[in-house]
């Protein structure tokens, strides 16, 4: 992941965490709660977009026999 993307993602997640804390700790009115929730959704969408871009870059970098392939980062549990 590029350093800039990492910083952006970390900043977005920090903002989202602060928003969640605010919603959990404060007694906000309906209008303020709705505005905070809406702002939180925008932050979630931003984080998802950044993660998708990073995933696309990783997939582009992973190559097998000259052909890009998609590989899971998670190891499958043996059954």
pTM: 0.63
pLDDT at 28: 83
Please state, for a pLDDT cut of 90, what percent of the chain lies above it.
16
Distance CA 30, CA 28 (A): 7
Q: Which residue, among 7, 6, 48, 39, has the nearest Cα to 20 in the 3D structure? A: 39
Convert the pLDDT of each residue in 37-69 to its tens digit. Answer: 899 899 999 999 988 888 888 777 776 556 766
| Domains delineated in the chain | 3-68 (1.10.287)
Distance CA 62, CA 43 (A): 29
pLDDT at 23: 85
- In this structure, what token pair is assigned to residue 65? 């026999």
- pLDDT of 6 higher than 60: no
């Amino acid at each position: 992941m590029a350093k800039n993307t990492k910083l952006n993602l970390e900043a977005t997640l920090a903002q989202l965490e602060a928003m969640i804390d605010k919603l959990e700790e404060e007694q906000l009115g309906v209008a303020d709660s709705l505005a905070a929730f809406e702002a939180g959704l925008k932050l979630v969408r931003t984080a998802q977009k950044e993660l998708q871009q990073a995933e696309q870059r990783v997939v582009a970098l992973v190559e097998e026999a000259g052909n890009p392939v998609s590989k899971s980062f998670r190891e499958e549990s043996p059954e």
